[in-house]
Amino acid sequence: MKLDELDTPIALVDLDRVEANLKRWQAFCDRHGFANRPHIKTHKLVELARLQVELGARGIACQKLGEAEVMADAGIDDILIPFNLVGERKLTRAVALAKRIRLILIADSREVSDPIGRAFAQADMSVEMLVECDTGAKRNGTQTVEETVELARHIAATPGLRFAGLLTYPPPGGQPNVVRFFNETVARLKELGIEAPILSSGGSPDMWTANEQGPVTEHRPGTYIYGDRMQMRAGCIGLDDCALTVLTTVVSRPTPDRAILDAGSKALTADLHGLNGYGRIMEYPDAVIHGLSEEHGHVDLSQVEGPRPKVGDRVRVLPNHACPVSNLYDQVALIRGDRVERLVDVAARGRLT
């Protein structure tokens, strides 16, 4: 199948670029001696998760339990869920999942850790648990070294739980805080005779300086597999490395300076993150997708010199943020050049619980 045989809008994944991105990062991890644990929330594809593991990833990270269940069904047997699991139904599912794979969970309070411990103890099992630390992102996480040490001690003494280390998701540029927080916490834990074998950090923006994170033993990048405009701005990937685009059709030219695409907020992410427009039109980089309706992409062509797109023309849009786009499609097209190799189901799409 050729690209022009596809109906639009549809997400395209360039396999040559994906493979190059994965191999480049895995080689970096191997060279610097820390583990790669990629976050599959960016692509949600069984095929690409398997490829990441085949190339050397220690395991994968899944933000939600539903994603982890899909990946376990596909044979991936080492999964970290870096998200607090709360509620009896989720804990029942987590116990069932841990009977099949190596499962690692996290907590940032006793209110999270204690019910997990009870659920696993009642099943005559135990699960590895990391303490999530807030090193500057101001999201989840313990707030101080003292609080972290106390929670680690509590987890280590809780039936059903095995303390396995620390986890953080720092903001861009936050690596010095990670090094300080982890070093201080690990030193305090050693004084108490508690080992922390896993020290997990994450994020794509600072991935190429992950080797400067001192004690960190693994890194969890997600968007690196595809890239997007946000990661280009962060400097971690170049335009020619970006692997995910949305193929869309010009369906209206109401005025000389305006075009309408058949890709709106249900096909492109509404994330702006300070960028100009809702994606870059690869064929017309001076055009601006200035607005999104549900099914319409509103394009300003006023800065485009020379020929402008006509009704029926097809263009490819590089999203601002790849991760939400993956969750918008039942299938994506895996391509090499202008050839469509196959359509694949986005198996973990919508697995938000």
What pLDDT is stored for residue 213 in this prediction? 87
DSSP assignment of 142-187: B-SHHHHHHHHHHHHTSTTEEEEEEEE-PPTT-HHHHHHHHHHHHH
Q: Give the closest residue to 12 by CA, choosing from 337, 344, 334, 339.
A: 334
* Average pLDDT value for the chain: 97
**Residue-wise pLDDT tens digits, 156-206:** 999 999 999 999 999 999 999 999 999 999 999 999 999 999 999 999 999
Q: Percent of the chain scored above 70 by pLDDT? A: 100
Contact partners, residue 123, CB within 8 Å, separation at least 6:
95
CB 135 within 8 A of CB 178: yes
The pTM score is 0.96
> Tens digits of per-residue pLDDT, 307-342?
999 999 999 999 999 999 999 999 999 999 999 999
199 pairs with which residues across the strands? 166
* Long-range own/partner contacts, residues 54-61 (CB < 8 A, 24 or more apart): 55/22, 55/23, 55/26, 56/26, 56/29, 56/30, 57/26, 58/218, 59/102, 61/37, 61/202, 61/220, 61/222
Output the six-digit token pair for 285.
């980089």
State the DSSP string of 283-324.
T-TT-EEEEE-SS-EEEE-TT--S----TT-EEEEE-S-HHH
Residue pLDDT, tens place only, 123-164: 999 999 999 999 999 999 999 999 999 999 999 999 999 999
Note the pLDDT of residue 207.
95
Does residue 233 register a pLDDT over 90? yes
Which domains does the chain show, CATH number per domain? 3-9+238-345 (2.40.37.20), 34-225 (3.20.20.10)
SS3 of 348, please?
coil
Phi, psi of 349 (to 5 degrees): -60, 135
Closest CA to 99 of 70, 74, 129, 69: 69
